Structure 1
Amino acid sequence: MNSLFIIAPYKYEGIWVFDDPRVGLTQEPFVSGADTIIDALTENLPNAAEGFQLIFSPDPFPGFHARFTWNRPEYGGNWYSWPERNMDGWLCPALFKYFESAPQELFVKVSAR
C-alpha cells in the first residue's frame, strides 16, 4: 500500500473538490471545515483555485506543511484538528478509499501544479 498519496484539488462552483479516477472519485467535495483548512493551506499559492498538488500521508515526510490529528468519527467520516491553527475539518468516507481505518495523524504538503 502507498505511504504517500497525491490529489489535485481545485474549485468547482466555488467549492474545493478533487478527482481521483484511480479510486472512483469525481468532484469529491471538501466540506465542514476541510474547505476552510484548504483556504488556509493555499493562501500563498498562486492560482490555487485552478488546481494545486496536495500530498498526504499518515506518516511524517520531508517538507510536510501541516500535521492533523484525529478527533472522532461522525456521519461515516472523521474529524481532524490542525492544532497549530486551531482549526477542525471533517473528512468524508472517501478517506477510506486511501486507508482501511482513519489514521491517527495526517501529514500534508501543498504546492503549485
Structure 2
Amino acid sequence: MRYNDNCQMNQIREDKMTTFINNSLFTIQPYWLGRTWVFDAPNLGVMAEPFVAGTNIVLTQLAQTRLGIEPSEGAKFQLIFSAQEFPGLHLSFRRQEPEFNGYWYLSEAKDWAWFSPAMTSFFSNGYPEELYLQVLR
C-alpha cells in the first residue's frame, strides 16, 4: 500500500469515528460470552469488552424482565444508550465516583454499576453525568 493510500484510509477512519462520536444515541449488541455480557465496537477498536461490577447484573435483569432473554451462550440483545433522555428508555443512572479508570453509576432503583473506560469511546466529553438505557430484541 502506498503512503498516500494509507493517509486516505486513516482519514476515512477518522471521519467514521467523528460521525460515530457525534451521535447522541448509541447502539451496541451485548452478547453472552463465558459468564458475562460483552460487546464489540470494531470502529472504535473495542472487542469483547465485558460488563462487570454490577453492570452485568443490571443488564441481565433488563434482558430477563423486558425481553425474556436468559444469560446463556448465544443470547444477545440491542442496547441503546445516551447521555440524554429519550422516548422508551428503561433505566437511568447518575454518575457517582471514579474507580479503576472507570466510573460508578447509581440507578434510580439504587442499583450500582461500574462502567469501564471503553465508555469514553462513545462520549467525547468523557463519562456523562447521566446515562439512559433501553434494551430491544
Coarse TM-score class (shorter-chain normalised): over 0.9
- Aligned residue for 1:43, secondary structure, equals helix
Q: Which whole-Å deviations, capped at 9, do the CAs of 1:66-110 have from their partners, x for residues lacking one?
A: 1111001111000001122x2101011001101132101001110
TM-score norm. by structure 2 comes to: 0.77
- Structure 2 stretches lacking a partner, 5+ long: 1-21
Percent identical residues:
40
Q: Which has the higher contact order (CA 8 A, sep 6+)?
A: 1
Q: State how many pairs are aligned.
A: 111
Q: Distance in 2 between matches of 1:72 and 1:105?
A: 12
CA deviation vs aligned residue, 1:38-66 (integer Å, no higher than 9, x gap): 11111131345411000000000011111
> Could you tell me which residue of structure 1 aligns to residue 63 of structure 2?
42
Greater radius of gyration (CA): 2
In 2: Cα distance, 1:69 partner to 1:35 partner? 17
Higher strand share: 1
> Match for residue 130 of structure 2?
105
Regions of 4+ moved over 3 Å = 46-49
The equivalent of 2:95 in structure 1 is 70
Sort the Cα spacing of 1:93 and 1:36 in 2 relative to 1 into closer, same or farther, 3 A: same
8 Å Cα contact 1:10-1:48 kept in structure 2: no
Which structure features the higher share of helix residues?
A: 2
Aligned position for 1:15 = 36
Q: Tell me the secondary structure at the aligned position of residue 60 of structure 2.
A: helix
Higher mean C-alpha displacement, 3-12 vs 98-107 = 98-107
Q: Which runs of 5+ in 1 are unaligned?
A: none
